Amino acid sequence: MKQHFSRHIQNTKGVLFIASFLCLFSASCTDETSSSPSCLNEYDLSPLLANYADQVIAPRYADFEKEFSQLYTGGSVFLTSPSIENLQSLRSSFISSYQSWQYVAPFDFGPAEKHFLLSTFNNFPLNEGKAYADAIEKNLNFSSPDDYNKGLPLLDYFLYGIGSTDQAIIDSFTTNPLLAEYTQAVLDDMKDKLTIVLDEWGEYRNTFIANTGTQDGESLSLLINAFNKDYEFIKRNKVGVSSGVLSLGFTNPKEIEAFHSELSTLLIKEAIQSSRYLFKGNTTNADNGEGIEEVLRTLNAKKNGINLADVILEQYLKIEDHLERVNGPLSLAVDDDKEDIIDLYNSMSEQVIYIKSDLPSVLCVPITYVDNPSDSD
Amino acid sequence: MKAIIQVLNRRRSITPLVTFRITYGLLLFFSSIRFWYQGWIDALFIDPTFHFKYYGFHWVKMCPDYFITPLFFTMILAALCVALGFFYRYALSVFLVLFTYFELVDATNYLNHHYLVILFGLLLLFAPAHRYFSLDVRRGSVLSTAQIPRFYILAIILQIAIVYTYAGIAKLNSDWLFEAMPLRIWILEYQHIPVVGGLLRYTTTAFIFSWFAAFYDCTIIYFLLFSKTRKWAYFTVILFHFLTALFFNIGIFPWLMILSNLIFLSDSFHNRLYRLKKNIASTPNSLPGIRSTTVIIICIFFIIQLLVPLRHLAYSGNTMVTELGYRFGWRVMLLEKAGIATFTLKDEGTKRSMEIANREYLTDFQEKQMAIQPDFMLQFAAHIAEKNSHIVKSPSVYVTSFIALNGRVSQPFIQADIDLLQLDDDWSDKPWITCRSIP
């Protein structure tokens, strides 16, 4: 009851504030209340989509392509002449590539979705037994998106986990040429898929910008759905599964991203930052383009009297705060730092309400990855 | 009573009823084939490992997979037999039993117009719609009849009137009239349609559609009944439902209404369809008049129908939000509603708990429907507890849920600190639904 009352007060304040604001700056201030639905009926989405295509998606792919080509070259060098030096150099480009990957992972629509870029690069946790067996049996077919024997997780295992010391890892490669062959094949697979996707994006860009509707299958809907899918992937697969919240509190320290290289916490940070920048429509830290954030501000969508854009950004900050408190790799933190991880997870869950429920609702964009197999009435 | 029966017994041509029988049978024949062809037997009956139930019908179980296709095939054949008037009453009974069964096995798939199909079918069961232009007449099992008591036709008209009127009343809410919601959202999908598409992005267009639809639903029945306006009214019926078919993913509903509304047209119109000569139409017939028991049964049928859509008044709050008394009330196309429901299963013994991944238990479509319907949440909570009984010995289930409707931000929906396993789904109010009105 008390909560209700205070919300009511907040609402009233909010209404008064918007109302006076609108009276000052716009001609119409007749029927604007905080509970009125907004929707993008007469909103021109072209600048927004152009910004995402040219200032967000294209540069992020270009960055990743650059990082990955170094990884690819470094891989070839190491595999032909395994040495401590070459391993270290390869590892460093592996780390940069894995970080950079977090910035393109959300674009799982259009060409990337068609060619399973997501599962090619980052199906984790790796099925180590299968990966090793496939290497030995020269099973080099990577076409199934349901296989967990490839991509960056494979490199994580082979470059960090296949031996207990660096020298042992190098020895594995020198004594067993099949490992090198398999690793090269995995690198080639990633390279091929990335090349196709980048090629197709050239043409897809125009389609993407031209589809200015808000409905199922149109660009804004694709973007918001992909944004949400990515976020839920971070929440569930990168944090949830290992934390034990899904398994009666029994943790799964091995079921994380980048287990052997111990990059998990870093990669979650990158992924959250990627998600936040995507929401803002930024390429890098500089706030330079029109993103979903600006649309929310234009619509003046409010949650409990606060601008929804601010609610979402505030929640990202809270999540990042929680992340700062996580020390070391997630594999240890899930047990040593249980409370913080649970807090992190809960904080991430709260964001789901804002971006999966509130955001599509006020934009009138249907969440379509929940598909309707039937008629409605 | 006698006088009433006499009035109801006044004769009319049988042909409007025959048209109704044929169009009903054919429409369901084709729509059932379509249902099959679309892969919905798999998507809605075979794929789900769990099925939501209607109150009082938990005993209706999904039959084994290998029975489903033969049963569905039988239903399709039965619909065709209804259209042909071949073993009419048996065919109609078989069709109705099977159609109703497929509705009852999973409440996720509830559709108002499927409910209407069942109601029309029940009315047809009483009517001698096979007494003309049917294989039953041809094979000699019944005599051809040119005239029937007008009661049968009036009953169908009353059924249609109930649908339109309640659908119209439901539209008289502030979101529909003053926000043009949810049409404002839905028409955006059709902006690329030539000519009119460009107009759809304007809120004004959504307002025109909303007001027209509300006016249409509330009044069309009177224009159809009044002979001077009938022709234009029927023309409007075609236009209106054709537009809804174009804009919305509502399956057979537009066609069901366009075809069933033919029953308003005059005897002479229908007679012409069958080249029935006027003199034959006016010959005395062999059919006895209706009995008072039939009238009483049909009256009870309609009284129930008049009351059922009003039952939401017995609950506090807005039925569009709470879904208390929402179904079977002709509330069609009223809401764009989405929810998020996160369940936590706790073990009261070990004090351990786990968050439930809904998708491990439900199809995407079931999850979407469950997240906005409180009774489904109770059923799902019980299902989770049962499925995990091997690891959680003394379970309790809690849900954190939010719903967003008609373009607004979301609201907390269900009381988060209440053990769902302790709650019963019955007809009483559900005080644990915390969101009661449109904010």
Average pLDDT, chain B: 94
What order of strands is seen across the sheet that includes strand B353-355? B353-355, B337-347, B395-405, B411-412
CB B11 within 8 A of CB B147: yes
The pTM score is: 0.91
Rounded to an integer, what distance in angstroms lies between the CA atom of residue A51 and that of residue B423?
A: 50
Q: Which two tokens stand for residue B241?
A: 């439902």
Q: How confident is the model at residue A35 (pLDDT cuts 50, 70, 90)?
A: low
Question: Could you give the 3-state DSSP secondary structure of residue B365?
Answer: helix
Rounded to an integer, what distance in angstroms lies between the CA atom of residue B416 and that of residue B429?
A: 17
User: What's the pLDDT score for residue B194?
Assistant: 78
Q: Which two tokens stand for residue A157?
A: 């295992």
Rg (CA), chain B: 24
pLDDT tens string A286-337: 667 889 999 999 999 999 999 999 999 999 999 999 999 998 899 999 999 9
User: What's the pLDDT score for residue B84?
Assistant: 98
Residue whose pair of structure tokens reads 């991203």 in the numeric block: A257
Question: Is the predicted pLDDT of residue A22 greater than 70, yes or no?
Answer: no
> Between residues 113 and 142 of chain B, which touch chain A (CB distance below 8 Å)?
113
Residues 6+ apart with CB under 8 A from A297: A307, A309
**From the candidates A8, A375, A376, which should be mutated to test the interface with B, based on the most B CB atoms within 10 A?**
A375
Classify residue A184 by its DSSP letter: H
Q: HSE of A211 in the Cβ direction (CA atoms, 13 Å)?
A: 19
Tell me the mean pLDDT in the region A158-167: 96
CB B404 within 8 A of CB B434: no
Q: HSE of B408 in the Cβ direction (CA atoms, 13 Å)?
A: 23
pLDDT tens string B274-305: 987 765 555 555 678 898 999 999 999 999 99
Are B407 and A246 an interchain contact pair (Cβ–Cβ within 8 Å)?
A: no
Q: Nearest by CB to A38, from B365, B407, B410: name it.
A: B407
Residue whose pair of structure tokens reads 């609702």 in the numeric block: A361
Residue whose pair of structure tokens reads 């009511």 in the numeric block: A8
Q: What is the ipTM of this complex?
A: 0.88
pLDDT tens string A123-156: 999 999 999 999 999 999 999 999 999 999 999 9
Lowest-confidence segment of A2-16, A165-179, A233-247 by average pLDDT: A2-16
Rounded to an integer, what distance in angstroms lies between the CA atom of residue A60 and that of residue A206?
A: 18
Classify residue A189 by its DSSP letter: H
User: What's the pLDDT score for residue A239?
Assistant: 97
User: What's the pLDDT score for residue A186?
Assistant: 98
B111 vs A contacts (CB less than 8 Å): 374-377
- How many CB atoms sit inside 10 A of residue A310's CB? 14
Sign of the dihedral through C-alpha B216, B222, B228, B233: positive
User: What's the pLDDT score for residue A282?
Assistant: 84
Domains and CATH numbers, chain A: 46-363 (1.20.1420.20)
Rounded to an integer, what distance in angstroms lies between the CA atom of residue B151 and that of residue B295?
A: 9
Rounded to an integer, what distance in angstroms lies between the CA atom of residue B15 and that of residue B267?
A: 7
User: What's the pLDDT score for residue B219?
Assistant: 98
Rounded to an integer, what distance in angstroms lies between the CA atom of residue B199 and that of residue B209?
A: 12
User: What's the pLDDT score for residue B198?
Assistant: 81
CB A139 within 8 A of CB A154: no
Helical (H) or strand (E) element with A65? helix A58-80
Rounded to an integer, what distance in angstroms lies between the CA atom of residue A222 and that of residue B266?
A: 51
Per-residue pLDDT tens listing for chain B (439 residues):
789 899 999 999 999 999 999 999 999 999 999 999 999 999 999 999 999 999 999 999 999 999 999 999 999 999 999 999 999 999 999 999 999 999 999 999 999 999 999 999 999 999 999 999 999 999 999 989 989 999 999 999 999 999 999 999 999 999 999 999 999 888 887 777 777 778 888 889 999 999 999 999 999 999 999 999 999 999 999 999 999 988 888 889 999 999 999 999 999 999 999 987 765 555 555 678 898 999 999 999 999 999 999 999 999 999 999 999 999 999 998 988 999 999 999 999 999 999 999 999 999 999 999 999 999 999 999 999 999 999 999 999 999 999 999 999 999 999 999 999 999 999 999 999 999 998 7
Question: Could you give the 3-state DSSP secondary structure of residue B396?
Answer: strand
If we measure between CA atoms, which residue out of B415, B159, B183 comes closest to residue B306? B159
> Between residues 160 and 219 of chain B, which touch chain A (CB distance below 8 Å)?
175, 178-179, 181, 184-185, 188-189, 191-192, 201-203, 206
pLDDT tens string B109-143: 999 999 999 999 999 999 999 999 999 999 999 98
